[in-house]
Amino acid sequence: MKNTLSEELLSSLTADTPSISPKFFYDDIGSRLFDVITLLNEYYPTRTEKWIMDAYQGDIAAAVGHCDVLVDLGAGNCAKASRLFETLNPRQYRALDISKEYLEVAVADLQKQFPQIEMSAHAVDLSLPMAFPDIQELDKVFFYPGSSIGNFDPEQADEFFVNLANECHGKGGLLIGVDLVKDVETLNLAYNDSLGVTAAFNLNTLLNVNRLIGSNFQPQDWEHYAFFNTSQSRIEMHLRALKDVQITLPGHKGHDHLISFGAGNLIHTENSYKYTQDHFVEKLRCAGFKDIHCWTDPNKHFLVCFAKT
């Protein structure tokens, strides 16, 4: 596992555009920092998605119909799924996330509150293909909130949707939240909050990488840099070197790798794609989803969709 991660990071950090995948944001500290981000004034997605889900609770329940299993993709603290329990009344709740310890604590807490629901926590990487053979015949809802889909490049998002559409097997569907294109100032503020929580979240990825593969990044040598790239319709987050630095990545049998970054050099840590409603619905259709319901807020800042195959 450690060797695979080392190879993945060595390859991404030495590419023409050095990068660290956003999945490395989420260790225990990263998950907690994300929870704080969701409370910030500037960060509209979480409260807007919650507003939509509350305002259209009845319509969502009617569109979904019967639900045996709620599969929460990138569950985090599981708070959003728990608000759906009353609406959808699932027998089983399956929570998936890369942040293992954080997820296990969240699911254990939730199980105490909802003893009647059979719950399980699964530490998985959602960027790899998924299969759910044991729930093929059940009515299932794949729940993917928080605009996490925006972290995938558009082509990867298409593959992800095709994978999920196949996994639906005509029984159940996908309930998904996605951030919409809007004015650039609102977007930039959401990723550059005045308390610097998003900056700490971004910098923490370096500490997580150190912990996972034994590298020696020093967060104080880097700064947070985020902006909306209009032509690509995405927020980009980067870490910018404040001075010349040399990083050691431990390799096989003591063969360490040295990587140099000059002052001002960037490591790309996240894309968060923003979609128009029409484009997003078209992507779901192309992946094989047919019956697509959409709900949005009065400002059209965020979109929630339920799609069946």
Number of helices and strands in the chain (H, E): 10, 12
> Binder to ligand SAM among 53, 63, 64, 80 (CB under 6 A)?
80
What's phi and psi for 295, nearest 5 deg?
A: -135, 140
> Binder to ligand SAM among 6, 9, 20, 26 (CB under 6 A)?
26
Only one residue has tokens 């399956």, namely 94
Q: Single out the segment in contact with ligand SAM by CB under 6 A; choices: 4-12, 124-132, 168-176, 193-201.
A: 124-132
| Binding flag, residue 148, ligand SAM (CB under 6 A) | yes
User: Does residue 204 contact residue 27 with C-beta atoms inside 8 Å?
Assistant: yes
| Binding flag, residue 97, ligand SAM (CB under 6 A) | yes
E-assigned strands of the chain?
Answer: 69-73, 92-97, 118-123, 140-144, 172-179, 222-229, 234-241, 245-249, 257-261, 266-273, 291-296, 302-308
Only one residue has tokens 């050099």, namely 265
User: Does residue 59 contact residue 295 with C-beta atoms inside 8 Å?
Assistant: yes
Please report, as residue ranges, which positions from 37 to 66 form the binding site for ligand SAM (by CB under 6 A).
Answer: 46
Q: Single out the segment in contact with ligand SAM by CB under 6 A; choices: 74-82, 132-140, 223-231, 275-283.
A: 74-82
DSSP state of 24: G
Which residue, 21 or 216, has its beta carbon nearer to ligand SAM? 21
Please report, as residue ranges, which positions from 241 to 260 form the binding site for ligand SAM (by CB under 6 A).
Answer: none
The residue number with the shortest CB distance to ligand SAM is 146
| Binding flag, residue 145, ligand SAM (CB under 6 A) | yes
Query: How many residues are listed for the chain in this entry?
Result: 309
| Binding flag, residue 201, ligand SAM (CB under 6 A) | no
| Binding flag, residue 304, ligand SAM (CB under 6 A) | no
Please report, as residue ranges, which positions from 260 to 289 form the binding site for ligand SAM (by CB under 6 A).
Answer: none
Shortest reach from residue 74's CB to ligand SAM, in Å:
3
Tell which residue, 62, 49, 45, 20, has the closest CA to residue 206.
Answer: 20
Q: What's the rounded Cα separation, in Å, for the pair 279 and 265?
A: 34
What's phi and psi for 120, nearest 5 deg?
A: -145, 150
Q: What token pair was written down for 111?
A: 């199980």
| Binding flag, residue 34, ligand SAM (CB under 6 A) | yes
> Binder to ligand SAM among 13, 98, 107, 303 (CB under 6 A)?
98
| Binding flag, residue 163, ligand SAM (CB under 6 A) | no
Which residue, 224 or 241, has its beta carbon nearer to ligand SAM? 224
User: Does residue 168 contact residue 140 with C-beta atoms inside 8 Å?
Assistant: yes
Which residue, 124 or 138, has its beta carbon nearer to ligand SAM? 124
| Binding flag, residue 139, ligand SAM (CB under 6 A) | no
Binding site residues, ligand SAM, CB under 6 A: 23, 26, 31, 34, 46, 74-76, 80, 97-99, 124-127, 145-146, 148
